Chains A and B, each alone.
Chain A
Amino acid sequence: MVLEATMICIDNSEWMRNGDYSPTRFQAQADAVNLICGAKTQSNPENTVGVLTMAGKGVRVLVTPTSDLGKILACMHGLEIGGEMNLTAGIQVAQLALKHRQNKKQQQRIIVFAGSPIKYDKKTLEAIGRKLKKNSVSLDIVDFGESDDGKPEKLEALLAAVNNNDSSHIVHVPPGPNALSDVLISTPVFTGDGDGGSGFAAAAAAAAAGGLSGFDFGVDPNIDPELALALRVSMEEERARQEAAAKKAAEDAAKQEKGGEQASSSHDATMAEPNSSSVPAVDDKRHNLTDDEAALLEQALAMSMDDPKSTNVAVADTDMSEATADDHELALALQMSVQDNAKDSPTQSEMSKVLEDQSFVSSILNSLPGVDPNDPSVKDLLASLQGQSESQQKQNEDKQENEEDK
């Protein structure tokens, strides 16, 4: 949370055309710059960041220290590669830009991206470093790209001359598959002096690690609330169905059990029931599910459209990576619905089974305000429901739909 004014010195020399960092050195550098600007402005809203280029026709300040992130990102566009990097002039101009910062209370910091070879000798660099230290300017060096002519040693000497109380850092990034910005995220360049800045850095690291941000279904409710809601609703529907199906299986298995026990199990409707799910578990080997967003989305759409065929397709297409309890239930539920469809009876038959279970219904009615299960009219209704649902199993769908409306 240090109040800081930062000048970033970009290397846009010919050496940046090389592709040993993907996609090109220059692009990797630009990404890293964007990330750093974001991190600095987030860690303290009063921080300012400026950018200058060291190569090309000469040292050119693209934007003076500002807290406007948009301006900084905009100036990174349309930069041309060419020329040779002038490190000493770049650092001196950066120092001058920082000297004229508007808020004198800000600490001064320069971040240098050194990608091309350094033609200056150690003495010159050390003199520059001492001058920076004298004016209490911290320096962060990102050593990437070319590494020859004793470049790392020169940069280390520069760092040693500048370093005051570990406020300056150097990072050597060798070429490789990792992006430059990913490597930098974990370094003190990003995280500041061990202190804060880590909120942004942590979020960036999590995103960079790829994949889900840890939310349910892999969808951020902030970004896409409707999708998240649809997925959640369909998941709950499947859970309810699976609950009912499991309960039916338990009922059949232990017909002589009293209704009270089943009522207590029905209260756990929204919670996972591994015991009951173990019964149909044997059949589940075929159907595998993953956290795959596309698969979930297809299933959600399929269920909402009540289209059994597409549900079947979705299940068949997915592969298993990690089976969680949720997915297990979902698999079972899907399988039940698939099997039901195979038998050519409607999915609504499951609903009738739910209604058929008088204890379940009475427990629901208990939870409804204003309804007294001991009321004779309610009892009659229940009895009629039960009788009707039994007859429906022998008859066709239409009567079931009528019962649904009740």
Chain B
Amino acid sequence: MDSAAASAIPRGQVDLVDFVDWSGVECLNQSTSHSLTNALKQGYRDDVGLHLESDADEQLLIYIPFTQVIKLHSVVIKGPEEEGPKTVKLFTNKEHMGFSNVSDFPSSDSIALSPDNLKGKPVNLKYVKFQNVRSLTIFIEDNQGGNDVSKVQKIVLYGTTVDTTNMKDLKKIEEH
């Protein structure tokens, strides 16, 4: 999980923000003034002033559908030290999950974020489990400091699309 070289994106992978189906993106328990787009959308996510915040308690449930089938390789979750997420569970291809059924079935992967990760180090996932992903559900269970509110600065997903895994077209995206 904790591989080396934080800054560069993994070789051969693409930032999947272009393949997100924005009309179906949902986030449960988000605060209305600090919504998911602040963390996910290009431009917003790089703005330090904008972040995603939880509302009633510290858990967040984010549902991201894609416009085509993708393979997910790794993920970067950035957040503040105290309120950034700690335990994050990922579910694939499960629509309209609620907080009550996060425990109903096992997650495709479960990661525990370290402070390094919160600074931008990507987390490699169990690639074999994410071969055929139509939609991704991210469940943020708790945060680093055990606070009532979780904050997420930025979420980046790295992977490839299944249809056109054309290495020549891959652009090297500089991470700042």
Contact = CB atoms under 8 A, between A and B. Distances in A.
B29 A104 contact: no
A134 B95 CA distance: 17
Interface in B43-62: 55-57, 59
Interface in A111-131: 130-131
B32 A135 contact: no
Contacts of A164: 32, 55
B28 A134 contact: yes
Contact of A165 (B32, B56, B95, B96): B32
Interface string B118-150: 000000000000000000000000000000000
Nearest to B32: A165
Interface in A73-131: 99, 104, 130-131
Interface in B81-140: 95-96, 98-100
A248 interface: no
Interface residues of A, number: 10
A267 B34 CA distance: 72
Interface residues of B, number: 12
Contact of A133 (B56, B96, B100): B56
A134 B96 contact: no
A388 interface: no
A136 interface: yes
Interface string B52-82: 0001110100000000000000000000000
Contacts of A134: 28-29, 55-57, 59, 99
Contacts of B29: 133-136
B149 to A, nearest CB: 13
A385 B99 CA distance: 93
Interface in A207-265: none
Contact of A99 (B32, B55, B98): B98
Given A99-B98, A104-B96, A135-B99, A130 B57 contact: yes
B55 A133 contact: yes
B132 to A, nearest CB: 22
Contacts of A133: 29, 55-56
Interface in A17-46: none
A104 B59 CA distance: 21
Contacts of B99: 134-135
Contacts of A131: 56
24 contacts: A99-B98, A99-B100, A104-B95, A104-B96, A130-B56, A130-B57, A133-B29, A133-B55, A133-B56, A134-B28, A134-B29, A134-B55, A134-B56, A134-B57, A134-B59, A134-B99, A135-B28, A135-B29, A135-B99, A136-B28, A136-B29, A164-B32, A164-B55, A165-B32
Interface of B: 28-29, 32, 55-57, 59, 95-96, 98-100
For the complex of A and B, 5 pairs with smallest distance between CB atoms: A130-B56, A134-B56, A134-B29, A104-B96, A133-B56
Given A104-B95, A133-B56, A134-B56, 9 more contacts: A99-B98, A99-B100, A131-B56, A133-B55, A134-B55, A134-B99, A135-B98, A136-B29, A164-B32
